[in-house]
Amino acid sequence: MCDEANTGFAKYGSVEKLPKISNSGFNDWLKQTQHLAGIKTKLTVKVARKTFTNLMLNELGVSEESVDAMLGHTTTKHVRYYGKANEERVAREVVY
């Protein structure tokens, strides 16, 4: 896997120049994966972002600003859209 990554970097020169897949293309790939894996839940980019955001915010306690940067957004508005604080996170933050 590392050799494949190095080959990709050598071919394109930098991370910024790597080809990007559209959300619709990625959703098509997710549908194929879902079918092959026998997963009943519909997989989409939006589901993945919501799952990632909730996991990072609520389970791992990562700040909204950091999650925002990981998602590639410029404001935390999108993080608030994708992830909501659960009761356990609120309780943890009140205790500290």
pLDDT, tens digit, for every residue of 1-31?
A: 567 777 767 887 876 777 777 888 888 988 9
pLDDT digits (tens, 9 = 90+) for 33-45: 999 999 998 888 8
Q: What is the pTM of this model?
A: 0.62
Q: Measured between alpha carbons, how far is 18 from 11 in angstroms, rounded to an integer?
A: 9
Picking from 9, 29, 30, the residue whose alpha carbon sits closest to that of residue 18 is 9
What distance in Å separates the CA atoms of residue 8 and residue 4, rounded to the nearest whole number? 6
